Copies of this chain bind each other. A is one copy, B any other.
Amino acid sequence: MGIDALDGRLLELLAAEPRIGVLEASRRLGVARGTVQARLDRLQNKGVIRGFGPEVDPAALGYPVSAFATLEIKQGQGKDVREHLRSVPEVLELHTTTGHGDMLCRLVARSNADLQRVIDRVVGFDGIVRASTAIVMENPVPLRIVPLVRQAAKDNS
C-alpha cells in the first residue's frame, strides 16, 4: 500500500533533480530503465505523485507578502464563502478546520498596503463573521516532502 525503499529513493532523486529523465534516474538508482518507468507509473496511478507542475514563486511574480487568515464563518454559509474565496486570485489555498466554523487561508499581496486591500476583499463577504490575520515574516521550513518520504519508506521496509 505504501512505498518501498526504491520508491523512496526515486522520489528523493526526483525532488533533488527534477529535470533528469527516466534513463538518467535508472542509472543513478542502479536499476533497469523499465523498473523506473514502472515505478513512476505506479506512483502516479496510486496518486502518490500528483504531477510535475512548475513551482511558481509568488514573490517573483510581484507578490512578496504572505499571510495566513483565520476566518470565522456564519453557520450554513460555508459553501458561499468557499466560492467567494475561490474567486480571489490572492487566496492560494483554503482549508476548513476544526473549530467554530473556522477556515484558514493563505494569502499573498504586492505589499503590506496591498495586503489590506486583499484582506478587505476576502472578509468583505456576508458569511464571514470575523477574521484574524498573521503576516508571514520568515519561512524557516519551506514546504518539503523528502523527510516524510524517508519516514514512509522506512516504515514500509
Report whether over half of chain A's contact residues are helix, strand or loop; otherwise say mixed.
mixed
**Is A124 part of the contact surface with B, judged by Cβ < 8 Å?**
no
Residues of the B chain whose Cβ atoms lie less than 8 Å from the Cβ of A99: 134
The A1-16 residues at the B interface (CB cut-off 8 A) are: 1-3, 11, 14-15
Contact A61 B149 (CB under 8 A): yes
Given known contacts A104-B68, A136-B97, A152-B62, A53 and B14 CB-to-CB distance under 8 angstroms: yes
A142–B11 Cα distance when bound, in Å, is: 21
Interface residue count for A (Cβ, 8 Å)?
68
Task: For residue A5, give the distance in angstroms from its CB to the closest CB of chain B.
Answer: 14
Closest chain B residue to A94, Cβ basis: B141
Closest chain B residue to A133, Cβ basis: B98
The A49-97 residues at the B interface (CB cut-off 8 A) are: 49-63, 66-68, 82, 85-86, 88-97
Contact A134 B97 (CB under 8 A): yes
Task: For residue A152, give the distance in angstroms from its CB to the closest CB of chain B.
Answer: 4
A 94-109 to B, binary, CB cutoff 8 A, 1 in contact else 0? 1111110010111010
**Is A151 part of the contact surface with B, judged by Cβ < 8 Å?**
yes
Query: Contact partner of A50 among B11, B56, B62, B139, CB < 8 A?
Result: B56
